[in-house]
């Protein structure tokens, strides 16, 4: 499909055909494409749990309150945020920068390389580090005061950075669903879930958070609840 065709084709499908299995390797490839989604500072604070086990599918369906999309899903993808991995991801970016720079000593980096090196060594820790919310509140107050005189980044608190991580995960989830649509596979993002039980089932670490669960399969005719409805474009579009 063209991108426009995939966007139009993609719907939140709530009933899947049990006679038409989907290939797990193909779904895995779509997840890999999802990792190409744009994300904040290229930190990639996400993980994807590809659920194909019938036992786990049944349990997750129950934790999704047995909504039809979950009950009939052939596979599921659980999108996870990992804000707690910011140090590891920053180090990975630094290693990549050094690789691109040819393994030079950071002192010998060019201007762009030095900026990137400083960004991940100093700015990212300043942005993500917190201590029981205390440092975040201090940063918030300082940034607010500075903001009285000039533009400044204001997402300083732990809660702000959680939102940043979830926004990036959401972009990856949409990329995954469009990738699936492109090959004629269907999806349904679900937020009506018992996230704590799913977290325990998948043995997720404490710092992990579930962004959404995506049901996957091939649509049945009754899997789409009517024509797509959207608020008139003029009500949401503002030209300034």
3-state secondary structure string across 60-119: HHHHCCCCHHHHHCCEEEEEEECHHHHHHHHHHHHHHHHHHCCCCCHHHCCHHHHHHHHH
- List beta partners, residue 210: 80
- Determine contact, residues 147/154, Cβ cutoff 8 Å: yes
Average pLDDT of the residues in 177-184: 98
Residue 50, pLDDT score = 98
How much is the pLDDT for 32? 98
pTM exceeds 0.85? yes
Nearest to 14 by CA among 74, 73, 86, 81: 73
d(CA 21, CA 209): 29
Residues in the chain: 240
Calculate mean pLDDT across residues 181-204.
98
Average pLDDT over residues 34-59: 98
201 closest CA partner among 214, 210, 192: 210
Q: What is the mean pLDDT of the chain?
A: 97
| Percent of the chain residues past pLDDT 90, beyond the cut | 98
Integer Cα distance of 211 and 190 in angstroms: 9
For the segment 181-205, the average pLDDT, to the nearest whole number, is 98
State the pLDDT at residue 233: 97
The CATH number of 3-84+167-222 is which of 3.40.630.30, 3.40.190.10, 3.40.50.2300, 3.40.109.10? Answer: 3.40.109.10
Q: Model confidence over 120-151: pLDDT tens digits?
A: 999 999 999 999 899 999 999 999 999 999 99
- pLDDT at residue 109 in the model: 97
Angle between helices 134-146 and 158-182 (to 10 degrees): 90
The pLDDT of residue 47: 98
38 neighbors 169 (Cβ within 8 angstroms): no
CB neighbour class for 89 (10 Å; exposed up to 12, middle 13-18, buried from 19): buried
Identify the band that residue 96 occupies on the pLDDT scale cut at 50, 70 and 90: very high
Report pLDDT for 53. 97
Q: Note the pLDDT of residue 213.
A: 98
Q: Where in the chain is the domain with CATH 3.40.109.10?
A: 3-84+167-222
């Amino acid at each position: 499909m063209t991108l426009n065709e995939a966007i139009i084709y993609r719907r939140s499908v709530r009933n899947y055909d049990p006679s038409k299995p989907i290939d797990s390797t193909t779904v895995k490839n779509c997840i890999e494409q999802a990792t190409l989604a744009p994300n904040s500072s290229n930190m990639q604070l996400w993980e994807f749990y590809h659920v194909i086990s019938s036992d786990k599918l049944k349990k997750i369906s129950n934790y999704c309150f047995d909504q039809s999309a979950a009950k009939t899903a052939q596979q599921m993808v659980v999108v996870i945020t990992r804000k707690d991995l910011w140090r590891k991801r920053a180090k990975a970016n630094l290693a990549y920068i050094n690789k691109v720079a040819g393994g030079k000593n950071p002192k010998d980096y060019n201007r762009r390389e030095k900026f990137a090196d400083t960004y991940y060594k100093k700015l990212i820790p300043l942005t993500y580090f917190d201590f029981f919310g205390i440092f975040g509140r201090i940063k918030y107050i300082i940034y607010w005061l500075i903001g009285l005189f000039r533009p400044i980044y204001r997402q300083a608190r732990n809660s702000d950075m959680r939102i940043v991580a979830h926004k990036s995960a959401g972009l990856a989830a949409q990329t995954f669903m469009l990738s699936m649509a492109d090959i004629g596979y269907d999806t349904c993002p679900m937020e009506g879930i018992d996230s704590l039980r799913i977290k325990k089932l998948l043995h997720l670490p404490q710092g992990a958070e579930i962004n959404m669960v995506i049901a996957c399969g091939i649509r049945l005719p009754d899997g789409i609840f009517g024509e797509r409805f959207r608020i008139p474009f003029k009500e949401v579009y503002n030209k300034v």
